[in-house]
Amino acid sequence: MQRINCIIVEDEMPAIEELKFILNKYDFIEIKGIFNDGKAALNWLKENKIDVVFLDINMPEMSGLDLAKEITLLNKEIYFIFITAYEEYALKAFEVGAVDYILKPFNDKRIEKTLIRLRDYVEKYAGKNLLEKSIKNLVEKFEGQNKIKKLACEKNEKIILLDLDSIYFCYIENDKTLVKTKDKTYLTNYTLNEIEEKTGFFRIHKSYLVNLNKIKEIYPWFNGTYKIIMNDDEKTELQVSRLRVKDLKEVLGI
């Protein structure tokens, strides 16, 4: 595969030397620069293009998270791998599109997994928008036993992690997957099939999944179908396909 060009932004020399030593073991990674502060890295990136930034979060003057936001304004296709001693920054790191989050002190095997993930991302998502990559990555980070605790969505060019309990239904419109909460609608890059598998939401129609806990009313319609009224602000009415009525009644005990 093509070489992956990277820079390291870290203000601690021992960490720089250790990370550089590990990265140099992999022939598909090439270190193009090492910077001790965010401003120097940002100025360099205005004139140079790379694929990934290994970025410390806790740095003087400009934090790694703030630097990542500035870099994204220059190039939305750059990947970030955050390196830090503080685990509590993990969620914020993923919100700005991190491929991974590595804790200090470094572990060779852990970094190897990160680099393999990075290589797979570069191959799989070459030419795709960073937001799409970030959403996929965020959801994977919150998976457990094929189920997720949060669903990563997008609104106004920001990635939003929605608690499953805040989601009322998901649906397809104009070939896009949309997620409805009590009063807002979000976009996600997952298909309904993927959401159904990972959340357990109920399929009432080929184009709709519902959170059964958010149903307000259900009543017979015509031709063997049913209608449900969701408990969102709009009291949205959704039709249950005839093929799904029996299963829905069994699940709800009616």
Whose tokens are 């998901």? That residue is 170
pTM comes to: 0.49
Q: Spell out the domains of the chain, with CATH numbers in brackets.
A: 4-138 (3.40.50.2300), 142-252 (2.40.50.1020)
Instruction: Round the average pLDDT of the chain to a whole number and report it.
Output: 82
Give residue 131's pLDDT.
44
CB-based burial, 126-165: b 16+ in 10 Å, e otherwise: eeeebbebbbbbbbebbeeeeebebbbbbeeeebbbbebe
Peptide bond preceding 105 in cis form (omega within 30 of 0) = yes
161 forms bridges with which residues in the sheet? 152
> Distance (Å, rounded) from C-alpha 141 to C-alpha 177?
20
Give percent above pLDDT 90 in the chain.
37
- Mean pLDDT along residues 152-166: 89
Contact between residue 162 and residue 179 where contact means Cβ atoms under 8 Å apart: yes
Is the distance from CB of 252 to CB of 218 less than 8 angstroms? yes
SS3 147: strand
